[in-house]
Amino acid sequence: MNSLLELKTAMRDERTEVKPAKRLGTNVSFDRDYGDTVGEVTASNARMVCRDVNVFYGPKQAIHGVNLDIGRNEVIALIGPSGCGKSTFIRCLNRMNDTIVGCRVTGSIQLDGQDIYDPQMDVVPLRAQIGMVFQKPNPFPKSIYENVAYGPRIHGLTQNKAELEEVVENSLRRAGLWDEVKDSLDQPGTSLSGGQQQRLCIARTIAVNPEVILMDEPCSALDPIATARIEQLIDELRMQFTIAIVTHSMQQAARVSQRTAYFHLGKLIEVGETAQVFTNPRHQLTEDYITGRFG
Amino acid sequence: MSVPREGHIVRRYDGELSHLHYLVLEMGALALTQVKDARDALCDRDLTLAQRVIAREKDVDACELRADSEIVQLIALRTPVGSDLRLVFAVSKSITDLERVGDEAARIANLGLQLLGSEGADPNPVLLHDIASMGALAVGQLENALRVVDRWDRNLAEDLLEAHEELDFEFQAAFRRLVTFIMQDPRNIGFAVNIVLIIKAFERIGEHAQNLAEYVLYQIAGRDIRHRVEP
Amino acid sequence: MDKPTLLLLILVLTTAGYYFGRKRSLDIVSGKVQELHSLPSYYGYYLAMWVGVPTLLLLLIWLGFEGAVLSRLVVADLPGELQGDSGERAALLINEIRNTMAGAGSGSGDPSIQAAANHYRHLQAVSDWLLSLGVIALAALGGWFGHRQIEVEQRARNKVEKGTMVFLIACSTIAIFTTVGIVLSVVFESVLFFQKVPVTDFLFGLRWSPQMAIRADQVGSSGAFGAVPLFTGTLLISFIAMVVAVPIGLMSAIYLAEYASPRVRTVAKPLLEILAGVPTVVYGFFAALTVAPYIRDLGQSLGLDVSSESALAAGLVMGVMIIPFVSSLSDDFINAVPQSLRDGAYALGATQSETIRQVIIPAALPGIVGGILLAVSRAIGETMIVVMAAGLSANLTANPLAAVTTVTTQIVTLLVGDQEFDSPKTLAAFALGLVLFLVTLMLNIAALMIVRKYREQYE
């Protein structure tokens, strides 16, 4: 009970916290040159720090010198027109681009101070630390239980069956799916509805207890009600995880995120508090994009 | 800077936004006419003109209702963001202020009827002089404010806001003169109260004009400059 | 007119019908195409259909019945002593008459046959003449009717579309009816066989020795038609083949689909599929001349008794032959597993082999099983390799080093050489064929059902 109370207090503090200096943004001094990006790319409590990130697909450069911090317990939304590199960028954060032939990443991306592109870095535990949820719900062709248990199994996170069951139940509860599936854990994951499948995928991701969750357009295949459930879930998960979400829906970015980053042609154009970006974007390109003046 | 340079992808959206803008100007023009007529009715002792101002008050209200429903619809259907959102917000606020201007004009006309239409009403012309000068100031500010709204002119808006103390000084001066009159001849007190109320109404109109300029600045610069603390 | 000319005439008339139909439609609206319901060419096709279809039908029907009718007429006109009483004799006579007509000269000595041949020739001419007349009349009638039908509001396009559909249905029906015909003929012959040999003896008999006595007192006069040794032989060889093909095929498929770089893949996959293009007879002599002796020598050096024609040799080579089936189908199904599943597993920190073993293979399993079932049915139906490498002795054994024989091999040997078509020995081939057909049919249906179910799961 006590810890819950503390959590709630913490939540309230977080929500009411106002940062006037940041909101106006004009008098923030940068200790380094962060390229042409407008707005505050650094975060005081950064969990991931990306500096001068470039991504190449063969000879073609997809991302140009992106600097961005992702703060603790924040939801950062990456928006931008199709092909602007936001998905490419988010896939750099857990080295999913490794699986693409001919993809090269330069610059540094740090998770809690450790460079994830260090040659010594093992991607297997890294990806357990940085989970990812995809555009299309992709439950494995296994039962609901096995889907959630998969991650803890391959990483050996649990000692015995009881522990595993606890992890599965916990993850499903946190994903808001437990009440709907607790009687059908042995049913295939693909038998669920689209929104349930996506929540199952989120449960699967949080079952390995990651520090960061990346979401690549998690609601683009879902109806508005299922979308609202996922958004509510994202808001709850924010307390324990750091979340970066790529979305095509600006309204969704506005609803779920605390910070918004606008990408355009592989460059990070503007980043700032979501409320500021959506009421008073400072870069003309951001303004044109969010108001629907080009696509 | 954030004035829409090129249109939205959905062109009807552009049409709806510019129609909102047009509505503000239309309502502004109506309110301005009301203020001018109310002033003229007082200065020329034209009771029928004052009656007409009171009768036209409902047109201003109708205008407000129409604009409000359009704004609500646009918010519901288009969910404006960025400069569009600020435009809609500024329009909404401006409409409210213009409606108040209309109210003040009608109040001036009403007070004018009381002042001029009562038995043996023949207030000292010296008293009416303040009404004329306050009225001219208020009308001037409102005209300027509408020019600002029309052109989204940032410099003009800032000039207008610089001049915010003019009416205040004028009101204070007129008030002092009125007090002197009352002390000279307490029978003037009936008229004087009416006249104070009238010049107070003109002062309020000037404040609404200031507000309009503030909304325009908010809309084009994205900064909320209301209630700012003077350095 | 003879028939080829007539066919040409029909084509010419049909083409003419097209042009007249087109012209007629244009004339009706005096060139204003928009006023017509359909494009002018559709009116052309419409009229062409009215000319071509009835005449072609008439030609086909005429061709179908002409021979029989003419023969009957000629035979009826023969002198009484030649007519005889049995149908077989009549058939012989007709043959003779036709030969005489063709000038082959056999049996032309008989004047009455000669006369009959002349009669036949005369009737043939009359028939051709009648047919020509009928075709022209029908074409004219159809043309006139179709021509009259063409109006502004006439829905020529819809009717032409319907006609096209009927034509396509007819084409597909031909394929279906051919299959049904084959099945029925096999079934009828099998029924004849089962009248002579009981079904239970055939299906459960343990001895296969398909000969029939020509003389009643011959040694071993009674043949034995117990097909169990054949079934076990088939199963043994198929099993050996699958033991070879499934692991190799599956693993090469996994390599090609998951590990190979695009360049390796573009080279290796066609190379692997070349294996499927090698004629089975080449596999056969490869098995008989290279693999079988090698296995025998190897077995002897190990002190095993290996017959020179062994199930092992045939099974191994057959397995190699089937590898491309398994690998190609499995590769397709592994590739059909959505990339998002791989991403999901990788994003959880699974390694590549974990992803393949625990996510991709389970996802592709139904498809892979379907592919393997198809390969099994191919193995069961395979003939050439087994004929050449597995031997002909119907041993009931599970020893892969012994010679065995299979259903298909026995069908071949039963039907090679001069045959009596009513002896059980020959008819046994049909019974074996029926069993083979049913087994492969069931395997195929099962495979298709599994594959289809899998397809539905991932769109």
C286-341: per-residue pLDDT in tens? 888 888 888 888 888 888 877 777 888 889 999 998 898 889 888 888 988 888 88
Of C137, C154, C171, the last residue of a domain is: C154
Interface ipTM: 0.81
Which of B3, B83, B229 has the highest number of chain A CBs within 10 A, making it the mutation to test binding with A? B83
Task: List C-alpha distances in Å: A200 to A150, A174, A193, A195.
Answer: 12, 10, 10, 9
Contact C340 A136 (CB under 8 A): yes
C15 and C142 inside one domain:
yes
Query: Residue A45: pLDDT above 50?
Result: yes
Q: What is the pLDDT of residues A228-266, one digit of tens each?
A: 988 998 998 998 899 999 998 888 999 999 999 999 989
Give which of B146, B64, B160, B57 is closest to B104, Cα–Cα.
B57
Beta-bridge mates of residue A66: A53
Pick C362's closest partner by Cβ from A131, A142, A205.
A142
**Residue A6: what pLDDT?**
47
Residues in chain A closer than 8 A to C346 (CB atoms): 96, 99, 127
Closest CA in chain C for residue A127? C349
pLDDT score of C104 more than 80: no
| Residue that the structure tokens 């395997």 belong to | C443
Last residue of a domain, one of C127, C154, C181: C154
Mutation target among A88, A124, A171 for the C interface, most CBs of C within 10 A: A124
Buried b (16+ CB within 10 A) or exposed e, B189-208: eebbebbbebbbbbbbbbbb
Q: Does the beta carbon of C198 lie under 8 angstroms from any beta carbon of chain A?
A: no
Integer Cα distance of C454 and B79 in angstroms: 43
Nearest CA among A168, A161, A163 for reference residue A206 = A168
pLDDT for res C87: 62
Q: How far is A263 from chain C (nearest CA, A)?
A: 23
Residues C39 and C136 in one domain: yes
Q: Do chains C and A touch (3 or more CB pairs under 8 A)?
A: yes
- As a whole number of angstroms, the distance between CA B103 and CA C56 comes to 94
The two three-digit tokens of residue A268, written as one number: 């990070």
**C325: distance to nearest CA of chain A, Å?**
25
Binned at pLDDT 50, 70 and 90, residue C88 comes out as: low
Are both C261 and C150 inside the same structural domain?
no
Q: Under an 8 A CB cutoff, do A254 and B83 touch? A: no
In a domain? residue C409 = yes
- A-C C-beta contacts closer than 8 Å: 71
The pLDDT of residue B2? 41
Residue-number span of the structural domain to which C38 is assigned: 3-154
Q: Give A113→chain B minimum CA distance, Å.
A: 35
State the total domains in chain C: 2
pLDDT, tens only, C165-207: 999 999 999 999 999 999 999 999 889 888 888 888 888 888 8
Residues C113 and C238 in one domain: no
Quick one: C130 and C229 in the same domain? no
Residues of chain B positioned with their CB less than 8 A from the CB of A288: 6
Pick C331 or C217 by higher pLDDT. Answer: C331
Give mean pLDDT, residues A53-62.
91
d(CA C233, CA B205): 108
pLDDT (0 to 100) of residue B32: 95
Q: Tell if the pTM clears 0.90, that is, is over it.
A: no
pLDDT at C396: 80
The beta strand positions in C96-211, using DSSP E, are 208-209
- State how far residue B20 is from chain A, nearest Cα, in angstroms: 17
- Where does the pLDDT of residue B124 fall: very low under 50, low under 70, confident under 90, or very high at 90 and above? low
C183: burial class by Cβ within 10 Å (0-12, 13-18, 19+)? middle
Averaged pLDDT of chain C: 84
Query: What pLDDT score was predicted for residue C280?
Result: 86
Please answer yes or no on whether A291 and B10 come within 8 Å at the CB atom. no
Local confidence band at C261 (pLDDT 50, 70, 90 cut-offs): confident
pLDDT, residue C77, reads 74
Domain assignment present for residue C160? The answer is no
CA angle A160, A161, A166 (to 5 degrees): 105
Q: How confident is the model at residue B224 (pLDDT cuts 50, 70, 90)?
A: low
Contact indicator for B195, B127 with CB cutoff of 8 Å: yes
Cβ contact A138–C349 (<8 Å): no
Residues C306 and C441 both lie in one domain = yes
Residue C219 falls inside a structural domain: no
Task: Give the pLDDT confidence score for residue B104 in this predicted structure.
Answer: 94
Name the amino acid, one letter, at B64.
E
- Sequence-ordered alpha helix ranges (H) in C197-350: 199-204, 228-254, 262-277, 280-286, 292-301, 311-336, 339-347
Measured between CB atoms, which of C262, C343, C363 is closest to A96?
C343
Do residues A218 and A55 make contact, with C-beta atoms less than 8 angstroms apart? no
Q: Are residues C261 and C345 in the same domain?
A: yes
Cβ–Cβ of A150/C348 closer than 8 Å? yes
What is the band of B107 on the pLDDT scale with cuts at 50, 70, 90? very high
Q: In chain A, helix, strand, coil percent, each to 5?
A: 40, 25, 35
Which chain A residues have a beta carbon less than 8 Å from that of B86?
A: 279-280
| C378 assigned to some structural domain | yes
Highest mean pLDDT among A156-170, B211-225, C30-44: A156-170
CA distance C407 to C399: 18
| Domains of chain B in sequence order | 11-221 (1.20.58.220)
Indicate whether C189 belongs to any domain.
no
Confidence (pLDDT) at C81: 62
At A14 the pLDDT is: 40
Q: What are the C-alpha distances in Å from A209 to residues A125, A152, A168?
A: 11, 9, 11
How do residues B132-170 score in pLDDT, each as one tens digit? 888 999 999 999 999 999 988 888 888 888 887 888 888
Averaged pLDDT, B100-128: 81
Which among B165, B229, B174, B223 is positioned nearest to B197, based on CA atoms?
A: B174
User: Are the beta carbons of A278 and B81 separated by less than 8 Å?
Assistant: yes
CB contact under 8 A, B82 and A254: no
Residue C130 covered by a domain? yes
Q: Which residue has the higher pLDDT, C109 or A147?
A: A147
- Answer whether A293 sits within 8 Å of B13, measured CB to CB: no
Same structural domain, C236 and C338: yes
C149 and C41 in a common domain: yes
Q: Is residue C218 part of a domain?
A: no
- CB-nearest to A279 from B4, B10, B82 is B82
Is residue B102 over pLDDT 90? yes
Confidence band (pLDDT; 50, 70, 90) for A10? very low
SS3 for A75-115 is: EEEEECCCCCCHHHHHHHCCCHHHHCCCEEEEEEEEECCEE
C245 and C369 fall within a common domain:
yes
State the pLDDT confidence band at C408, using cuts at 50, 70 and 90: confident
What local confidence, expressed as pLDDT, does residue A17 receive? 38
pLDDT at residue A1 greater than cutoff 70: no
User: Which residues are bridge partners to A75 per DSSP?
Assistant: A243
The answer for C 84-113 residues in CB contact with A (under 8 A) is: none
Mutate to test the interface with A, among B81, B83, B219 (most CBs of A within 10 A): B81
- pLDDT, tens digit (0-9, with 9 covering 90-100), for B47-90: 899 999 999 999 999 999 999 999 999 999 988 988 899 999 99
Spell out which chain A residues touch chain C, with contact meaning CB-CB distance below 8 angstroms. Answer: 94, 96, 99, 101, 123-128, 131-132, 134-136, 138-142, 150-151, 154-155, 190, 201, 204-205, 208
Any chain A CB within 8 A of the CB of C359? yes
What is the maximum span of chain A, computed from C-alpha positions, in angstroms?
A: 57
Question: Hey, is the C-beta of C301 within 8 angstroms of any chain A C-beta?
Answer: no
List the subunits that have 3+ CB pairs under 8 angstroms with B. A
Q: Is A185 helix (H, G, I), strand (E, B) or coil?
A: coil
A2 pLDDT more than 60? no
* Chain B, window 194-223: residues with a beta carbon less than 8 angstroms from a chain A beta carbon: 222-223
Q: Give the end-to-end CA distance of chain B in Å, rounded to a whole number.
A: 26
Which amino acid is it at A227?
T
| pLDDT > 50? residue C137 | yes
Q: Does A205 contact C262 at a Cβ distance shorter than 8 Å?
A: no
Closest CB to C343 among A125, A134, A208: A134
Residue B4 has pLDDT above 50, yes or no: no
How large is the average pLDDT for residues A88-110? 89
- The answer to whether B15 contacts chain A (CB < 8 Å) is no
Q: C378 and C294 in one domain?
A: yes
Instruction: Measure the CA–CA gap between C336 and C455, rounded to whole angstroms.
Output: 9
Q: Is the pLDDT assigned to residue C36 strictly greater than 50?
A: yes
Best-predicted range by mean pLDDT among A8-12, C93-97, C164-168, C329-333?
A: C164-168
Domain presence at residue C314: yes
Q: Do A126 and C338 touch (CB under 8 A)?
A: no
pLDDT at C212 over 90: no
Question: Residues of chain C with pLDDT > 70: what percent?
Answer: 90
Q: Among C117, C137, C154, which residue terminates a domain? A: C154
B125-151 and B164-184 helices, crossing angle to 10°: 170
pLDDT at B88: 94
* CATH (domain of C358): 1.10.3720.10
Which of the other chains make 3 or more beta carbon contacts under 8 angstroms with chain C? Answer: A
pLDDT mean over C429-436: 89
Instruction: Confirm or reject contact between B79 and chain A (CB < 8 A).
Output: yes
Share of chain C above pLDDT 90, in %: 17
